[in-house]
Amino acid sequence: MIYVKMIKMKPQKTKLRFWEIDFLRGIGITFVVIFHLFFDLNYFGILQNSMYSGLWLIFQRFTASLLILLVGISLVLSYEREKEKNQVKNRNDKTNNIFPKFLKRSAFLFAIASIITIITWGYPHEGFIVFGILHFIALAILLGYLFLRFFYLNLFLGFAMIIAGTIMNRIPATDNSLLLFGLSTADFYSLDYFPLLPWFGIVLVGIFVGKYFYSGKRNVMRLSSSMPKSGFVRFFNMLGQNSLLIYLVHQLVLFGLLFGYLFLQ
């Protein structure tokens, strides 16, 4: 979802990536496609599934948690990269030019999310996306920037938000004024809904993980690792590097295939 380029270790213009981040993101986007395939099969009445209970619910929550955890890690990597760039340009620069990068990325994702909301509002007429995962990530990028200075506090706040959100999501509200925080009425329905609680807690845990494994000297050590030669790993790395594009087009492809199948029946 968020693309991450490695910081430069030498003067030459070599673009490096953390292969394990791309690999995990590739696994995550594959799970998204699988879930939506069975969701669409159920929607069109081809194969009946209970998509938001039992094993499918666990699968959906695990997939979302993995991708959102990677959002937090990627925020750290992006910050480290931009900080390194600024330090190379000007040793006295205190990373004042970093926030506009995050703001542009957030605005880009929010624009895409708004287009998706408009599309789902027009079709299929059975609910639409109110505050989906792209809306959430766009906001999480801005909020996450404020927490990049913290370390263990992110871990504590992250788990606290996850617990609080899990409790709040079960409390029916009288109106939807606090929809952003996970409080909604019993009849509220959205095709895709990711409130700040509990999901921003997972972002904060991701920031902690990112700072623990990738910031400072640990970042330098991770750069020395090379991607395995396995075709399996390289395939999912490729998917991870193009995860946003896959997310945007996969439903169009699935819908086209299913419409074709129904037409031929």
pLDDT value of position 10 = 42
CB-count exposure of residue 99 (10 Å: 0-12, 13-18, 19+): middle
pLDDT digits (tens, 9 = 90+) for 61-84: 999 999 999 999 999 999 988 887
Assigned token pair, 50: 């209970």
Rounded to two decimals, the pTM is 0.88
CB-count exposure of residue 263 (10 Å: 0-12, 13-18, 19+): exposed
pLDDT digits (tens, 9 = 90+) for 175-205: 999 999 999 998 888 889 999 999 999 999 9
Residues 21 and 5 sit within 8 Å (Cβ to Cβ): no
Instruction: Give the pLDDT mean for 149-161.
Output: 97
Of 128, 247, 136, nearest to 196 (Cα)? 136
